[in-house]
Structure 1
Amino acid sequence: MITSTTITPAVRPLVEASGIAKRYGPTVALRDGRLTVLPGESHALVGRNGAGKSTLVTVLTGLQAPDAGTVLFDGEPAPPLGDRDAWRAKVACVYQKPTVVPELTVAENLFINRQPGSRRGFFSWRTLRDEATRVLDTWDIHVDPDARTADLKVEDRQMVEIARALSGGARFIVLDEPTAQLDNREIERLFTRMRALQESGVTFLFISHHLQEVYEVCQTVTVLRDARWITTAPVAELPRAALVEAMAGEVIAEERAAARAAVEHEPDATVLLDARGLTSEAYDDVDLTVRSGEVVGLAGSSGSGKIQLAEAFAGLHTPTAGTAQLAGKPLPFGDVSGALAAGVGCVPRDRHDQGLVPGMTIGDNATMSVLGRLGRHGFVATDRKRRFAAELIERLDIHAEGPEQPVSDLSGGNAQKVVMARALASDPRLLVLINPTAGVDVKSKESLLSRMDSAREDGTAVLVVSDELDDLRRCDRVLVLFHGKVVAEHAAGWHDHELIASIEGVDHG
């Protein structure tokens, strides 16, 4: 077990939190939160869902007062909770879910509610644009101030949020799962921008479940577990296996998922999904088969067409050409209900916008795809639905009070398990998984991937789209799309550099 040690800084910390405690009724969200961030560094905050990361961030950003403990900025006590301007001058958080207003321009978002040069309710649009241009140029952020924010790429929207924070005077930026919706190239561009901003005096707190990113972009890491501080250490001095051990509280073989051999599927197994000549604006002339008990991965950059292809099988899009059959019957395109009735279960790419109805309970979310089984003529037996939902909660190991708990109360990992539960509830012939482990912790990732293995063992055909190499390692084979075309196929046992070369277009014209 790793020894919990702290770092003695040679310079005064920019941010220092100690002894932070926070309770919500009987629930202890944080009992001993500690964090020491030095000026100009990227400091990782990691831990499984429920470890206390989000609670610590709400305290560090002045959204909530701790029940105990202190927060210092540059050696001075944190501002009073009600002084929002003072907090904005100290710290800002860029969340996984964008907080920009999509219909406003970049300039309007940069200065929302604080328009420069405003007098008696009036302000100058020219001044607004000039000030926005100045802020973007100062921080070398290449975004058109007149662009509608909804039209920007995810990475550019994130940079707008960072610029907004910097324009308010903050030099400490919290990045909460900033890479969850980015592909490999976009992630590298984000990291390049982070490094440039660090050189300009910006300090980052980087929250991520992807440990390889911690080693790539951060200098120091702090681990929380079970609502308390475990360790703080220089990233370069902490082996990955030790970091995972600190997060999990037990020894987890780092290579367990990587070394896990794909289950041998019968080469003569029945072809369940058979697609021919699928074409759309995003992909071109794709042939694809998935057999019973086979897991096929789709890899590629964000512009490869892999997500649009997978979504077509789930009824979300209609190809302009081509056909697909599932279990020998035509698969309806552009018809989500029809795809579900044909035997397709789907975990969509974004659980927030596509996967969950936040105002509903866990039970309602998990069973909405099978209500026809639970009643007749539009009437659903409440007790039957509750029992069915309880079985799904147990099957997916969802940590919750029960089916009646609001799904909005769940951590990211447990919320994603609810989405997986709904996909599996219909006993699908084809299971389509799109970024199934995005934004979840180490243990939840393993639990979700084990459900994929169980589906394989049950004879389901599984199609996995992911930017995570660990997800793709569980596949029997991986197809790589490049600019909409299948350019490579890798059997189980591929090496990282081989797959990445195909994704990046290195080994083909």
Structure 2
Amino acid sequence: MSFTAQAAAPPIVEAIGVSKRYGPTIALHEAQLRVVAGESHALVGRNGAGKSTLVGILTGLRAPDTGMVRFAGEPAPPIADREGWRQRVACVYQHSTIIPDLTVAENLFINRQPEKRGFISWPTLKREARALLDRWNVAVSEDMRAGDLRIEARQLVEIARALSYGARFIILDEPTAQLDGEEIKRLFVRIRELQAAGVTFLFISHHLQEVYEICQTVTVLRDARHIVTAPVADLPKDRLIEAMTGEQVHFGFADAAGRSPVRDAPVALEVKGISGEDFEDVSFTVRKGETIGISGATSSGRVGVAEAVAGLARFGKGEIRIEGRRLPSGNVPAALALGVGCVPKSRHDQGLVLPLSVADNGTMTKAGRMGPLGFIAPRRRAETTNRMIRELGVVTQGPEQPVSGLSGGNQQKVVMGRALATDPSVLVLLDPTAGVDVKSKEALLAVVERMRREGKAILVVSGEIEDLRTCDRVLVMRHGRVVAEKKAGWSDNELVAAIEGI
């Protein structure tokens, strides 16, 4: 269907002149969105652009101050009518709402289980769950423990649950953030099949390439305002990024392709034949002033290797040396003492204590060095935090603001600042730009490049192409082993083919 024909069709959802303010903060200003039935419509923008606020309004979790939302031409239900909202829209969030210790069937019909004489009818529950899964072609067992499902299968179960209420408009919030290449392909196949069956998607992602793969239309928000809505085919990537940022963004400064190889600098990190839970016999070295990447599928073992170097995970044999000194297995304090700084994979689960301030989070790794007898000197704490805010460009109300109030990109900058606070000689970065907007990605990669020039040894473990371009060479892992090494200057197709085993 052409974009003109789509635009003439009645929208399944429409937000008109929607505004929302929290005290002095403008979260949305006269935003608009029009999603046509049967399409996948991308909603993109930098962290803090207003996407989450708009999703909250579209799902009835908050009311707009001004403006209105319509579903199929009819006004949205009152906020209190939760059943009415469930029949029209559902959101599958990046962090699953599936209860892992319940079965698939119990999750599908939670709080609305079929009853017989006042008791749950388990045969009916299982029968109805199987019928629902079959209707939407979700190939999992209704008796399976939900926590044992793959992430993509959990997402499909959440989609099936939403469809069972009658909703045909599904919001997917960063659905691929925790998936590897093959899992993403399978999810996209299912999305296209569901589209063909009459389901409409609003697709939110920081991975712009995915917008071009799966979506027909894109809406851009910037600074709480609607910037543009256009067919994806009519908006080249550079123009899309420019619409998101208000300026052109260029990652060439972090590309290692034209960089001279590091050969004579001292070895800062030496990994010799280490094996762990999901990796075996992994060896490599990183010299001072060198950036080495490790990539591969989620199940390749790359995360396990990185966490072993950072002291976050144990390794059973082999050894790791930091500037010649041996690192004990699974010992974070020892890793810090030897000079390892780490940006962990999940900033929410491993990187931040969300209720604490920017200052508390940013100085956590060096609290013991900031005053005598365990007491933290306020002046030294303030100096460290203000330097981090200034050098990393953290947008915050001040050092005492709870880190939970920052955008995702600024939270990641605080995690980076915490890793750098101890002035480490070795930096381990796991997915350092995951879930951040293009401008924050540019800022974070600039920090990585600056650290390399200052002589730090950097290990970047990521599935992001942009992250890996910073690397002098990239090690590719598959099934727990290093299977290839690509020197800077590789093409996207070449690296992806190595990762996928093609």
TM-score with structure 1 length normalisation? 0.95
- Give the whole-Å Cα distance in 1 for the aligned partners of 2:370 and 2:97: 38
The answer to which of 371-380 and 77-86 deviates more is 371-380
Contact 2:256/2:489 (8 A) holds in 1 = no
Per the alignment, residue 63 of structure 1 pairs with 61
Residue type matched to 1:212 in 2?
A: Q
> In structure 1, which of residues 167, 172, 177 is the aligned counterpart of residue 164 of structure 2?
167
Gaps of 5+ in 1: none
Contact 2:48/2:223 (8 A) holds in 1 = yes
Per the alignment, residue 28 of structure 1 pairs with 26
Contact 2:249/2:439 (8 A) holds in 1 = no
Per the alignment, residue 18 of structure 1 pairs with 16
Per the alignment, residue 51 of structure 2 pairs with 53
Per the alignment, residue 384 of structure 1 pairs with 380
> Displacement, 1:251?
2.7
Residue type matched to 2:31 in 1?
A: G
- Give the whole-Å Cα distance in 2 for the aligned partners of 1:415 and 1:459: 25
Distance 1:334 1:28, change over 3 A: same
Counterparts of 1:259-274 in structure 2 under 5 Å?
261=257, 263-274=259-270
- Give the whole-Å Cα distance in 1 for the aligned partners of 2:482 and 2:245: 38
Contact 1:257/1:470 (8 A) holds in 2 = no
> Displacement, 1:371?
0.4
Per the alignment, residue 375 of structure 1 pairs with 371
- Give the whole-Å Cα distance in 2 for the aligned partners of 1:179 and 1:282: 22
> Displacement, 1:383?
3.3
Contact 1:6/1:231 (8 A) holds in 2 = no
The answer to which of 214-223 and 149-158 deviates more is 149-158
Residue type matched to 2:370 in 1?
A: L
> Displacement, 1:324?
1.2
SS of equivalent residue, structure 1 residue 333: coil
Residue type matched to 1:28 in 2?
A: I
SS of equivalent residue, structure 1 residue 14: strand
Contact 1:262/1:474 (8 A) holds in 2 = no
> In structure 1, which of residues 457, 472, 477 is the aligned counterpart of residue 473 of structure 2?
477
Per the alignment, residue 489 of structure 2 pairs with 493
Deviation per residue, 1:417-459 (Å, 9 max, x gap) = 1111111111111111111111100000011111111110111
Would you say 1:224 and 2:217 are equivalent positions? no
SS of equivalent residue, structure 2 residue 335: helix
Residue type matched to 2:326 in 1?
A: P
Per the alignment, residue 237 of structure 1 pairs with 234
Distance 1:430 1:124, change over 3 A: same
- Give the whole-Å Cα distance in 1 for the aligned partners of 2:388 and 2:157: 40
Deviation per residue, 1:166-196 (Å, 9 max, x gap) = 1111111101111111111111111111111
- Give the whole-Å Cα distance in 1 for the aligned partners of 2:164 and 2:337: 51
Distance 1:286 1:382, change over 3 A: same
- Give the whole-Å Cα distance in 2 for the aligned partners of 1:237 and 1:7: 15
- Give the whole-Å Cα distance in 2 for the aligned partners of 1:335 and 1:395: 29
Deviation per residue, 1:120-147 (Å, 9 max, x gap) = 4x21122222211111111001122222
> Displacement, 1:8?
7.3
- Give the whole-Å Cα distance in 2 for the aligned partners of 1:38 and 1:333: 54
Per the alignment, residue 435 of structure 2 pairs with 439
> In structure 1, which of residues 317, 333, 338 is the aligned counterpart of residue 313 of structure 2?
317
SS of equivalent residue, structure 1 residue 358: coil
Contact 1:91/1:170 (8 A) holds in 2 = yes
Per the alignment, residue 112 of structure 2 pairs with 114
Would you say 1:352 and 2:348 are equivalent positions? yes
Per the alignment, residue 134 of structure 2 pairs with 137
SS of equivalent residue, structure 1 residue 72: strand
- Give the whole-Å Cα distance in 1 for the aligned partners of 2:167 and 2:116: 22
Query: What is the percent sequence identity of the aligned residues?
Result: 60
Per the alignment, residue 366 of structure 1 pairs with 362
Would you say 1:332 and 2:332 are equivalent positions? no
> Displacement, 1:117?
3.0
Contact 2:86/2:162 (8 A) holds in 1 = yes
The number of equivalent residue pairs is: 500
Residue type matched to 1:315 in 2?
A: G
- Give the whole-Å Cα distance in 2 for the aligned partners of 1:226 and 1:206: 19
Counterparts of 1:176-255 in structure 2 under 5 Å?
176-253=173-250
Distance 1:296 1:259, change over 3 A: closer
> In structure 1, which of residues 284, 294, 297 is the aligned counterpart of residue 293 of structure 2?
297
> Displacement, 1:281?
3.3
> Displacement, 1:245?
1.0
SS of equivalent residue, structure 1 residue 480: strand
SS of equivalent residue, structure 1 residue 9: helix
- Give the whole-Å Cα distance in 2 for the aligned partners of 1:336 and 1:79: 51
- Give the whole-Å Cα distance in 2 for the aligned partners of 1:345 and 1:7: 54
Per the alignment, residue 37 of structure 1 pairs with 35
Residue type matched to 1:386 in 2?
A: A
Contact 1:262/1:473 (8 A) holds in 2 = no
Per the alignment, residue 71 of structure 2 pairs with 73
Contact 2:277/2:304 (8 A) holds in 1 = no
The answer to which of 108-117 and 70-79 deviates more is 108-117
Contact 1:265/1:293 (8 A) holds in 2 = no
Contact 2:249/2:442 (8 A) holds in 1 = no
Contact 2:254/2:445 (8 A) holds in 1 = no
Gaps of 5+ in 2: none
SS of equivalent residue, structure 2 residue 428: strand
Distance 1:185 1:334, change over 3 A: same
Deviation per residue, 1:35-61 (Å, 9 max, x gap) = 000001000000111111111111000
- Give the whole-Å Cα distance in 1 for the aligned partners of 2:482 and 2:371: 43
SS of equivalent residue, structure 2 residue 300: coil
- Give the whole-Å Cα distance in 2 for the aligned partners of 1:58 and 1:51: 14
> Displacement, 1:258?
7.8
Contact 2:294/2:462 (8 A) holds in 1 = yes
Per the alignment, residue 460 of structure 1 pairs with 456
TM-score with structure 2 length normalisation? 0.97
Deviation per residue, 1:75-118 (Å, 9 max, x gap) = 00000000000001100111111112222221111111111236
> In structure 2, which of residues 282, 302, 311 is the aligned counterpart of residue 306 of structure 1?
302
Would you say 1:124 and 2:128 are equivalent positions? no
- Give the whole-Å Cα distance in 2 for the aligned partners of 1:251 and 1:92: 34
